Amino acid sequence: MAKVLVPMPMEASTPRELKDTLWKAADKLRGSMDASQYKDVVLGLVFLKYVSDAFEERRDAIREELSGEDEAYLAETLEDADEYLGSGVFWVPAEARWEYLSRHAKGIPASSTNDAQSIGELIDAAMRALMQANESLVGTLPVLFGRDNVEQRRLGELVDLFNAARFTGGGASKARDLLGEVYEYFLDKFAKAEGKRGGEFYTPPVVVRTLVEILEPHSGRVYDPCCGSGGMFVQTEKFLEGHKEDPTNVAVYGQELNERTWRMAKMNLAIHGIDSQGLGSRWGDTFARDIHPDMQADYVMANPPFNIKDWARREDDPRWVYGVPPKRNANYAWMQHILSKLAPNGEAGVVMANGTMTTSTSGEGDIRKAMVEGDVVQCLVALPGQLFRATGIPVCVWFFAKNKAAGKGGSVDRRGQVLFIDARELGHMIDRVERTLSEEDLQRIAETFRSWRGRPSAVGEYEDVAGFCRSATLEEIKAAGYALTPGRYVGVPEAEEDDEPIDQKIARLTGELTAALDESERLDAVVREQLGRLG
């Protein structure tokens, strides 16, 4: 039997090398299946390669630790699952290890004792074995590689290509960080590839960071009722790591309607070492069956689907404290559901379509009025357009608080007030269709809120800034008909002082215009001369 040659892996992979290699892998399947399915296939293989690489790195470390020990003892220790789990590494059964799958990238032919197995069937068996061996992965990994609509030849080529990718080097935590970066890159790429549907599972990181930097979830329960691929939870962990705090200070809870997206979220949390039990044992509709009925959250961060027309509505639902939401739009249902989940000192940030700030359709204006008068609306931020590649709908962020008095939320009593931030002019275009916020922009928004609340992290005292931010009273909001558009309150930016005398300005501008006209005449003559030569 001919020996199978397996490409030698690189010593390590930089994030850029991994991204380039793995996106090429996605291209291999792009034409043979729809975007949502090849997303599952590629992300599943990324995860499988990572756990196997991390496992082999830990295995090498055990060998080094036990060098000189009895061979039988070494062999027994190498197969002790606790030696891996205790170091933050998933236990990988023999049939799920990458080396085994790579050797059989073309499948296993039939023999006198066994039926033939395709590479897809082997990968499915590896996924099942991983979930059986690691409790946190149960119900998480995709088992779809052996299906008829997955081209096995291309899948085998994909496995071969993945041999060049390495997630190891620097221990389990560094490998996990690297995988997390690659995984998030892929989520972004797939979201762009899927267009509008991509927005169902992916919120642009800059939007997520805006919520996290304003709410500052240092400890407690973090909840997302429509968690997509888990980006709010991952960014919370990054926030804690950035402040050198223990990520286990927070417990995450969430719910997701779409089965594939729910599995993606579970896998994403597993990649980042976040306990995913709070996402429940299966996917489900938050409105039809709330899987966390009694949970009170310290922080809620959410990007619900906008303007849902078909949703599970009951008029007697106890969540509708501020009014029954209309049948044909769930926006105010999401906001009231989120308010129902807040603990007495809880805070929330919710991404919404701009229309929610002014609509009066089907009683929505009355609900907004009740929320304002109930003093649970804390801040409205109007974001720049085109932050979401998949939709041109302009968005805002509502921030809620059950208690705006001085205390846990900040040292300044803000009862009877709402902060308005108009950030529409911030940011820059990264290509023809997508905008993002710079770090300076993001921190300007967050720092404005922190100083307004008197947070310990604030670096100065709050001041209204014409054209950007203003703290308005409930009386002012009432006078404006309970419309909450920030531009209505912040006004226009103050004009820069101009101390140039008017006669000098006219002379200067006249000179500049004359020079421009002279240059235009010169260029016109050059063009005519060149055209004459062509003739």
Confidence (pLDDT) at 177: 64
pLDDT at 372 over 90: yes
| Confidence at residue 251, expressed as pLDDT on a 0 to 100 scale | 96
What residue spans define the domains of the chain?
A: 15-187, 201-490, 502-535
Lowest mean pLDDT among 79-93, 309-323, 416-430: 79-93
Cβ-in-10-Å burial (0-12, 13-18, 19+) of 202 comes to: buried
CA–CA separation, 124 and 130 (whole Å): 10
Does residue 133 or residue 430 have the better pLDDT?
A: 133
pLDDT score of 270 more than 70? yes
Question: Does residue 100 register a pLDDT over 90?
Answer: yes
For range 213-239, the mean pLDDT = 94
Q: Which fold has domain 201-490?
A: Rossmann fold (3.40.50)
Q: What confidence score (pLDDT) does residue 114 get? A: 79
pTM of the entire predicted model: 0.81
Check whether 1 has a pLDDT greater than 50: no
What pLDDT, on a 0 to 100 scale, did the predictor assign at position 42? 82
pLDDT score of 432? 81
At 332 the pLDDT is 97
Q: What is the pLDDT of residue 41?
A: 85
User: Which tens digit of pLDDT belongs to each residue from 184-208?
Assistant: 777 777 766 665 554 555 788 899 9
Q: What percent of the chain is modeled with pLDDT above 90?
A: 54
Residue with the bigger pLDDT between 288 and 4: it is: 288
**C-alpha pair distances (Å), 460 with each of 29, 447, 454, 470:** 53, 9, 9, 16
Angle at which helices 205-215 and 439-453 cross, to 10°: 20
- In this prediction, residue 5 carries a pLDDT of 39
When pLDDT is cut at 50, 70 and 90, the band that residue 12 belongs to is: very low
Question: Which secondary structure element, helix H or strand E, spans residue 124, and what is its range?
Answer: helix 119-133
383 confidence band (pLDDT: 50, 70, 90): very high
Long-range contacts, stretch 129-134, CB < 8 angstroms, 24+ apart: 129/93, 129/95, 129/96, 130/48, 130/51, 130/90, 130/92, 130/93, 130/96, 132/93, 133/81, 133/90, 133/91, 133/92, 133/93, 133/96, 134/85, 134/90, 134/91
Whole-Å CA distances, 361 to 339, 358, 370, 474: 21, 9, 15, 22
Q: Cα(first)–Cα(last) distance of the chain, in Å?
A: 74
Distances in whole angstroms, Cα of residue 88 to Cα of each of 77, 85, 172, 365:
16, 5, 7, 50
pLDDT at 174: 55
For residue 389, pLDDT beyond 90: no
Distance CA 191, CA 210 (A): 20
pLDDT score for 353: 93
pLDDT in tens, 121-165: 999 999 999 999 998 888 889 898 998 888 898 889 888 888 877
Average pLDDT on 8-35 reads: 64
Provide the pLDDT for residue 9: 41
Q: What is the CATH number of domain 15-187?
A: 1.20.1260.30
Q: What is the mean pLDDT of residues 307-328?
A: 94
pLDDT at residue 128, rounded to an integer:
96
Residue with tokens 């830990």: 58
Complete DSSP assignment for 150-206: S-HHHHHHHHHHHTT----SS-HHHHHHHHHHHHHHHHHHHHHHHGGGGGGT---HH
Q: How confident is the model at residue 216 (pLDDT cuts 50, 70, 90)?
A: very high
Q: Residue 204 has what pLDDT?
A: 84
The pLDDT of residue 439: 95
pLDDT band at 301 (very low <50, low <70, confident <90, very high): very high
User: What is the predicted pLDDT for the residue at 4?
Assistant: 39
Query: Sorting pLDDT into bands at 50, 70 and 90, what band is 257?
Result: very high
Residues 364-374 have a mean pLDDT of 98
pLDDT of residue 505: 74
Percent of the chain, pLDDT > 70? 87
For the chain, give the mean pLDDT.
86
- pLDDT tens figures, 470-500: 999 999 999 999 999 999 999 887 655 556 6
Please answer whether residues 91 and 81 qualify as being in contact, where contact means their C-beta atoms are separated by less than 8 angstroms: yes
Q: Is the pLDDT of residue 285 over 80?
A: yes
